[in-house]
Structure 1
Amino acid sequence: MGTSVCFLNLSSCPRLRLSTFRILSSAEIGVSRRQVLEQVDRELSKGDERAALSLVKDLQGKPGGLRCFAAARQVPQRLYTLDELRLNGIETASLLSPVDSTLGSIERNLQLAAILGGVAAWNVFSFNPQQILFISLGFLFLWTLDLVSFNGGIGSLVLDTIGHTFSQKYHNRVIQHEAGHFLIAYLVGILPRGYTLTSLEALKKEGSLNIQAGTAFVDFEFLEEVNAGKVSATTLNRFSCIALAGVATEYLLFGYAEGGLADINKK
């Protein structure tokens, strides 16, 4: 019995098309995603927020794209009574009435140290009443100048710097607070642009006083809606969630919120 062999020349069959599939390894996807992040960072550093956001959205859901961006879905909005919140184990005073007791304690200790230092200097240098008056007026002038010209920004800068230096509790709380803003913004589809964790860092980056810490976002779409006078309910809900994410994070981690009063007032 003979054997028949048939050779098929693929190039001579125009109707036959072969598709090539390539399976990307997790390492390759990781490298690709890192390259995307680097490109996004470059666009943001150039101030081209539209290009950065477009790049993220174009690769959304694709291999190498950013994971979980805009992946969260908000539950339908609903108003809760105080009794309903208590039944769910939420203490509204601890959540929505933050008092920065850590910085308050540091501020009181600094005031006490200043008084004791003044008394010690008086005894050591034997200041007469006139010298004490002039020194007191000098400090009062500097305090008033800061309050009037910088809205207390210099004092807040000093207090925040001392807080981050000597209080690990305060330092960690600020980090967790800003991480909450950053994470929720990313999950609801608002691209974070940058963040600061200290007043000194904010002064160096933004040239602004009176900023304790903060997270900046690519929000030109929101601003365009505001300027047009047509802010959609979806956009408003997103930014409301982002604004309250910091205090919610503190409440979940520590059982109470100390920072974020300005966020609540903005909301």
Structure 2
Amino acid sequence: MHLATAPVSHAPAAALQPRPATAGSAARHWTSSQRVRLTAAWRQPRGGVATRAEADGSSPAATDDAAASAAPAVPQLSPAEAKQKLAELDKLLASEGPQVEAQAASLAATLHERGALRAFGAASQVPKRAYSLQELRLNKIQPEQFLAPKDTTLSSVRNIVQGSYLAGLTAAYFGQLLDLTQIVQVVILTAFLLTVDQVANAGGFEALLVDTAGRVVNRTYGRRVALHEAGHFLVAYLLGLLPRGYTLSSLDLFLRKRQLNVQAGCQFCDSAFQAEVASGKLTSSSLDTYSCVALAGVATEWLRFGHAEGGLADVMQLDRLLQALRFTQAKADAQVRWSVLNVVTLLRRHEATHDALADAMARGASVVECIELIEQRLAGSSDI
């Protein structure tokens, strides 16, 4: 997953378990004029939590009725019109330019308002409050396992590749294909090329090789990656953050764009989030969305495989953002625990849609095709 955020350090993540409060990273990257301030009022459309109207003492139902009577009904799009608008959205998402993301997000919001993208930003969420570890366990969530991804698959693949390389050299030597001097030359050349790769591509070629080998050696690996990224995609869409693109393998991106050192991930139309960070005013609703999308990948792997291997960078990025916001330990724990419960609830509720989305992404479906699949799967659902 790729969401822009403030520059951060590489401190270990431990947002669910007690850790000493740290402010060094925030002091390094947030000046007093840029420090993020959370808005006092936050809002969730569903899930039974307080809204601004409730904070003012008025009835939410009365407020909604008044708004409905004051505002004219928005005309719904016909199937032909919806198809045309989705084609426009597809072109926007494939375009480049500084205003494209904002235009695409605005069009998606309009399509939701006019009934074409009913599920976009329509997720029913759990009430926003501080949850204890015991409450998470009662919901069959083991938080101590959740935020500690360990990439055992690619580590094993890397060991296999290295072992195969050494075995090949040994076979060449004993088969008299190479003498000892030539073996030494090959080893020196390999070390030189790996060093150049680290300097020039930040290890991109090695990562591409290991990622590609992982799909051959371990058949589960490709499915795990597809489900992981589909988790980011689905949760983001249901919370109103428009996906812009995705890639499921380093080799795929290299063949399409000749880019190295870019692994699997989703990109989003997050220009509004970036603008909030740049202005130094990050709203609570934006932080809630960011937190949930960041944790969707590890949540997916934990739910489907019992543990997460990918997503450590996502967890660390969220942890560093909370540090940059100068959250106290208790406040950071509350934010992360709510996000964990919210994401796991969404993924459990929409497991079948999640599976279908992962299949579509594995086939290389476009973003709009993935969106249409989500809408078709959730059409008529009263519990999004």
- Both proteins in one fold, TM over 0.5: yes
The answer on whether the counterparts of 2:226 and 2:248 sit within 8 Å (CA) in structure 1 is: yes
CA 1:211–1:94 in 2, change beyond 3 Å: closer, same or farther?
A: farther
Once the two structures are TM-superposed, the CA of residue 31 in structure 1 deviates from its matched residue by 4.8
2:90 counterpart of 1:41: yes
- Residue 106 of structure 2 is aligned to residue 54 of structure 1: yes
User: Which one-letter code corresponds to 1:53 in the other structure?
Assistant: A
- Which residues of structure 1 form unaligned runs of 5+? 1-23
1-side partners of 2:307 and 2:299: how far apart?
A: 9
**Larger relative CO (CA 8 A, sep 6+): 1 or 2?**
2
Aligned twin of 2:218: 167
| More off after superposition, 250-259 vs 70-79 | 70-79
Q: Separation in 1 of the partners of 2:79 and 2:145?
A: 41
State the alpha-carbon separation in 2 of the partners of residues 217 and 117 from structure 1: 43
Tell me, in whole angstroms, the C-alpha distance in 2 between the residues paired with 1:241 and 1:58.
23
- For residues 93 and 151 of structure 1, do their structure 2 counterparts lie closer, same or farther at Cα, with a shift above 3 Å needed? farther
Aligned-partner Cα distance in 2 for 1:88–1:43: 40
* Larger-gyration structure (1/2): 1
Per the alignment, residue 14 of structure 1 pairs with: none
Provide the rounded CA distance (Å) in 1 between the counterparts of 2:257 and 2:298: 23
TM-score, length-scaled by structure 1: 0.81
1:263 aligns with 2:310: no
SS of structure 2 residue aligned to 1:60: helix
Residue 167 (structure 1) shift: 2.6
In the alignment, structure 1 residue 254 sits paired with structure 2 residue 305? yes
Shift in Å, 1:78 = 2.1
Q: CA deviation at 1:69?
A: 0.4
Aligned-pair distance for 1:106? 1.5
Partner of 2:249: 198
Displacement of 1:36 after TM fit? 2.7
Deviations 1:133-181 (A, max 9, x none): 2222111111222223322211010111122244320000000000000
Amino acid of the structure 2 residue aligned with 1:49: E
Provide closer, same or farther for how the CA distance between residues 210 and 94 of structure 1 changes in structure 2, counting only shifts above 3 A: farther
Q: What residue in structure 2 maps to residue 99 of structure 1?
A: 150
> 1:119 is aligned with what amino acid?
T
1:181–1:206 distance in 2 versus 1, CA, 3 Å: farther
In structure 2, how many angstroms separate the alpha carbons of the residues matched to 1:80 and 1:143? Answer: 47
% same residue: 42
1:187 alignment partner in structure 2: 238
Query: Partners of 2:79 and 2:176 in 1: how far apart?
Result: 66
| Separation of aligned partners in 1, 2:264 and 2:196 | 23
TM-superposed deviation, 1:43: 1.7
TM-score, length-normalised on structure 2? 0.58
Distance verdict in 2 for CA 1:205–1:92, change over 3 Å: farther
- Which residue number corresponds to residue 108 of structure 1? 159
Deviation at 1:214, TM superposition (A): 0.6
CA deviations over 1:96-148 (Å, ceiling 9, x no partner): 11112222222211111111111100112264433322222111111222223
CA contact (8 A) 1:184 1:241 kept: yes
TM-aligned CA distance change 1:30 to 1:171, over 3 Å: farther
The answer to whether the Cα contact below 8 Å between 1:164 and 1:198 also exists between their aligned partners in 2 is no
- Alpha-carbon distance in 1 for matches of 2:169, 2:79: 59
| Residue identity in the other structure for 2:151 | D
2:102 touches 2:272 (CA, 8 Å); kept in 1?
no
Match of 1:232 among 257, 272, 283: 283
The Cα shift of 1:29 comes to 5.3
Per the alignment, do residues 218 and 139 of structure 1 end up closer, same or farther by CA in structure 2, a change over 3 Å counting? same
